Amino acid sequence: MMDVRSKLHSGPSGRRVSGVDLLRDPALNKGTAFTQAERDAFGLNGLLPARVHTMEEQVHRELLRVRKQPDDLARYVHLAGLRDRNETLFFRVVMDAMDEMMPIIYTPTVGEACQLYARIFQSARGLFISANDKGRIATLLRAFPQKEIGIIVVTDGERILGLGDLGANGMGIPVGKLSLYTACAGVHPLLTLPIALDVGTDNPALLDDPLYIGLRQRRVRGAAYDALIEEFVTAVTEVFPGAVIQFEDFANTNAFRLLHKYESRAAVFNDDIQGTASMSLAGIYSALRLSKGTLAEQRLLCLGAGEAATGLCDLFVSALAQEGVPVTEARKRCWLFDSRGLVVKSRGDLSSHKQPYAHDHEAIGDFTAAVRELRPTALIGASGQPGTFTREVLEAASAINERPIVFALSNPTSKSECTAEQAYAFTHGKAIFASGSPFPPVHFQGKTFVPGQANNAYVFPGVGLGAIACGARRVTDEMFATAARTLAEQVTDEDLALGRIFPSLTRIKEVSLQVAVAVAEIAWERGLAGKPRPADPVAFIRDQQYEPHYISYI
């Protein structure tokens, strides 16, 4: 358990911090909640108004201020400023109003925030490591003020959500993801480190933008890029041994090969591949409770053939294999449809991650035709192309299935393959729907549907918490498969009655705890844990969960 009181003394002399130090350090600042005794002890009298507020009063004030902002981007900026002033209060606000705050601090608002990152930039958070830092990455890591790091989220900014190459502006993603580690799973913020690897950008608008915060050069590629990544991973394992590394929003060309290169060397994972897969598989498990089908009866048709789609197919195949279905047969139940049409063996342009799902079939260039021909039970949207689950597509899926599974996973909302309203209306209320970004409840033919948000935040924070708690030396596909089953078990009958196939966000901290325990159990069983298994794993991990409240400094 991290203790911010250790920061009350700084430097080799153990100098007691001053009142100004307290007010300027977001990990220590309490604002108007400093007690009178603390004000006397640290020289805060006169630096604050006389009234001592409770945290509850501060939360109420901040919620009023957030809600008065003109739009979600302004709310994002306001909350970022709050975190820069008072991190404890920031997380208290977020955790007390999770349903309201998550779409602001992460998807969909974080997409717009990244696009405008240079213009809303207020203060640096985490580390920006550029291609110019080759040869000194370990030095930069050692200079970071936090010396104990449990989880790192790193991006090179090439494929931010469905928005493409945003270069160093992509730092908003690691910052947002790590906020969710704390808010959703209780990973202490002092254990988290966001990193942007600035290797340039091929986005001409950014290269021409005088306010852009990153290197104004084309992307470093090839051997030079690989050497930088190698130095980075090596430096992390040296400076922060045991830290989990989450690769985030790397382009397909790098995401798969970097994961495969480093997954046997360190505790690394790729949330776009493995986290999305686990979350989607959990959604399928939950949907089967409504459709009354079995996993072995499912046929997936993925619109998009990148990290999310192939990651899901890989995990789906693994889950079927555990049920006794041969891998070759399981793969035949997964189909990919990319920008050139149905992925089939006769195509000669297939990258390695698509090849296991290239089947003997005639080419089909129209997605609706593919739905009618292949008769999938589940449509998985991971294309980044809005509106591609058209009326014709959804009606075709509805004609084939009594309860079609429709997952429109692309983020942000502007990239969603269809809206919740379209999914229910065009399937006559039959769809079991989930989306990557949130949609409001839908009223259709006298019934209210509460669409589930297929948010990776149901998976990766719990996986990270479990890995940190047990000191996992590796993060494996088995852990993500177990996380999927555990997440699905947290969905209640009440959730399903509303059409919601994921738990309410109000329960996410407890859900994350259960995922963490399941992940840690796998590490202990497989000999991958650096810490011994306690007698009560649930109590052991729960005790490590951060809760934002003020502690006494005297």
Catalytic residues: 106, 177
DSSP class of residue 211 equals T
Return the number of other C-beta atoms located less than 10 Å from residue 62's C-beta.
Answer: 21
Instruction: Tell me which residue of 77, 79, 156 sits closest to 119, measured CA to CA.
Output: 77
Q: Which of 532, 440, 523, 540 is nearest to 483 (CA)?
A: 523
CA–CA dist 164, 160 (Å, integer): 5
Residues in the chain, total: 554
What phi and psi, each to the nearest 5 degrees, are found at residue 314? -60, -45
Please tell me the distance from the alpha carbon of residue 536 to that of residue 145, in angstroms, as a whole number: 34
Query: What span, in angstroms and rounded, lies between the C-alpha atoms of 342 and 350?
Result: 11
Gap between the Cα atoms of 46 and 117, Å rounded = 36
| DSSP-assigned letters across all residues of 49-95 | -SPPPPHHHHHHHHHHHHHTSSSHHHHHHHHHHHHHH-HHHHHHHHH
The tokens for 178 are 């790590």
Backbone angles phi, psi at 442, to 5 degrees: -115, 130
* CA 287 – CA 267 distance, rounded (Å): 31
Yes or no: say if 529 and 472 are a contact pair by the CB < 8 Å rule: yes
DSSP state of 167: G
Helices (H), 245-275: 252-262
Widest distance between CA atoms in the chain:
79
Kindly state the tokens that stand for 542. Answer: 């729960």
Residue 227 host element (H or E): helix 222-239
Pairing of strands 300-303, 151-155: unpaired
By CB atoms closer than 10 A (0-12, 13-18, 19+), residue 135 is exposed
* Contact (Cβ atoms closer than 8 angstroms) between residue 141 and residue 127: yes
Distances (CA, A) of 240 to 6, 228, 469, 524: 19, 18, 15, 21
Answer for the pair 162, 384: CB distance below 8 angstroms, yes or no.
yes
| Burial class of 139 by CB neighbour count within 10 A (0 to 12, 13 to 18, 19+) | exposed
What is the per-residue DSSP string for 413-455? GGG-SS-HHHHHHHTTT--EEEESS----EEETTEEE--EE--
Spatial contact of 200 and 220, defined as CB atoms under 8 Å apart: yes
Name the residue with tokens 């990973």: 187
